[in-house]
């Protein structure tokens, strides 16, 4: 089962180049990780650009970013209407918080898309604090996937927690550590306009939690490109879906958590993450758009 993922898209030439890459890869679905048109009133133009490149029936699956969540630079409700859900069996509120197993019968991946750390029209962020309803919904979706024997669990959201770009831990330290504690295989985000992929990180022993803006080698569980499921979680930020890039800070205190990164000042590239999941392995690679050369890849093997 093949899927692609990226966020921070826009409607310019870069966005069209990335959509061309997606079309060429021919995935089963795409996860659009928020921040779409970047301006109010561009919803139909954005949707037309996507369907023009990928077709009206393609599952271009949305989770809101901060630019459309509160309505100031677009409206997630309008995006949801013109790029509706195409996955059978989806549960939750599409565009805001949802999950789906793919394929619906004998699934290989459970996708869990959530929206911590961004403001909505009511003036504040949704509550993903420890023990909240949305926290429990996420935790139960992860636990149920494992209980049902679904090989892979992928969580997607707009904001990252730790990053070499400009952003801080908007996803929340506790929520991020919960995903690690439950050994989610892959966590995807956008928001920072960079590409960055972590080593496998895990809790236990002398690593009780990951603390933002700090680094502890005790939380690293594997640091090469061939990883084993259950050893830890891989975090990938793919905020390079078409708009302008941010710099990466090579001396950031969190740099020790990362295996690969790209930004405006270091091998810049727009593009998409391309993931192929089977019952035995999850293989991912970064595919650059035309005119860029940066690449990255990793494999997680099932025990």
Q: Report the pLDDT value the prediction gives residue 239, as an integer from 0 to 100.
A: 98
Dump pLDDT digits (tens) for 170-193.
999 999 999 999 999 999 999 999
Domain ranges of the chain: 2-301
Mean pLDDT of 142-148: 98
Mean pLDDT of 4-14: 98
Mean pLDDT of 18-33: 98
Mean pLDDT of 97-123: 95
Mean pLDDT of 259-281: 98
* Residue 300: pLDDT band with limits 50, 70, 90: very high
CA distance 182 to 201: 12
Judge contact between 37 and 71, C-beta under 8 A: no
Mean pLDDT across the chain: 97
Mean pLDDT of 227-241: 97
CA distance 192 to 263: 10
Mean pLDDT of 63-85: 96
> At how many degrees (to 10) do helices 13-25 and 43-54 cross?
30
Of 121 and 141, the structure prediction assigns the larger pLDDT to 141
CA distance 95 to 76: 7
Q: Is 19 exposed, middle or buried (0-12, 13-18, 19+ CB in 10 A)?
A: buried
Mean pLDDT of 68-92: 96
Does pTM surpass 0.85?
A: yes
Would you say how long the chain is, in residues? 303
Q: Report the pLDDT value the prediction gives residue 121, as an integer from 0 to 100.
A: 86
Tell me how many degrees the CA angle 30-23-261 measures, rounded to the nearest 5.
65
* Residue 54: pLDDT band with limits 50, 70, 90: very high
Mean pLDDT of 1-11: 98
Mean pLDDT of 9-29: 98
Closest CA to 222 of 267, 257, 187, 173: 257
Asked whether residue 32 carries a pLDDT value surpassing 90, the answer given is yes
- % of residues, the chain, pLDDT over 70: 100
Q: Report the pLDDT value the prediction gives residue 68, as an integer from 0 to 100.
A: 97
Asked whether residue 225 carries a pLDDT value surpassing 90, the answer given is no
The domain made up of 2-301 is a member of CATH 3.60.21.10: yes
Mean pLDDT of 148-167: 96
Mean pLDDT of 31-52: 98
* Residue 219: pLDDT band with limits 50, 70, 90: very high
Closest CA to 107 of 162, 47, 147, 77: 147
* Residue 123: pLDDT band with limits 50, 70, 90: confident
Q: Report the pLDDT value the prediction gives residue 297, as an integer from 0 to 100.
A: 97
* Residue 122: pLDDT band with limits 50, 70, 90: confident
Buried/exposed 95-127: b ≥16 CB within 10 Å, e otherwise: bbbbbbbbeeeebbbbbbbbbbbbebeeeebbe
Mean pLDDT of 48-75: 97
Judge contact between 284 and 236, C-beta under 8 A: yes
Q: For residue 28, give the DSSP letter.
A: S
Mean pLDDT of 66-82: 96
């Amino acid at each position: 089962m093949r899927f692609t993922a990226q966020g921070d898209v826009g409607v310019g030439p870069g966005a069209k180049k990335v959509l061309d890459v997606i079309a060429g890869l021919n995935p089963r679905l795409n996860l659009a990780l928020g921040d779409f048109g970047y301006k109010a009133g561009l919803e139909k133009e954005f949707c037309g650009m996507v369907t023009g490149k990928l077709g009206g029936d393609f599952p271009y699956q949305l989770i809101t970013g901060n630019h459309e969540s509160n309505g100031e630079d677009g409206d997630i409700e309008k995006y949801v209407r013109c790029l509706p859900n195409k996955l059978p069996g989806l549960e939750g509120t599409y565009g805001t918080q949802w999950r789906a197993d793919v394929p619906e019968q004998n699934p290989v991946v459970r996708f869990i898309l959530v929206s911590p750390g961004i403001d909505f029209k009511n003036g504040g962020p949704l509550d993903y604090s420890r023990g909240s309803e949305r926290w429990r919904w996420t935790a139960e979706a992860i636990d149920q996937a494992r209980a049902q024997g679904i090989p892979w669990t992928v969580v997607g959201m707009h904001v990252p927690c730790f990053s070499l770009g400009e952003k801080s831990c908007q996803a929340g330290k506790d929520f991020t550590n919960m995903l690690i504690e439950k050994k989610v295989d892959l966590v995807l985000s956008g928001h920072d306009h960079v590409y960055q992929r972590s080593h496998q990180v895990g809790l236990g022993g002398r690593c009780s939690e990951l603390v933002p803006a700090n680094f502890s080698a005790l939380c690293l569980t594997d640091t090469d490109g061939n990883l084993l499921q259950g050893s830890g979680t891989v975090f990938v930020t793919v905020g390079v879906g078409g708009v302008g890039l941010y710099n990466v800070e090579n001396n950031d205190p969190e740099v020790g958590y990362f295996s690969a990164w790209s930004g405006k000042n270091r091998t810049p590239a727009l593009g998409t993450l391309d993931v192929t999941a089977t019952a035995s392995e999850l293989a991912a690679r970064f595919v650059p758009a035309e005119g860029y050369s940066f690449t990255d890849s990793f494999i997680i093997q099932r025990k």
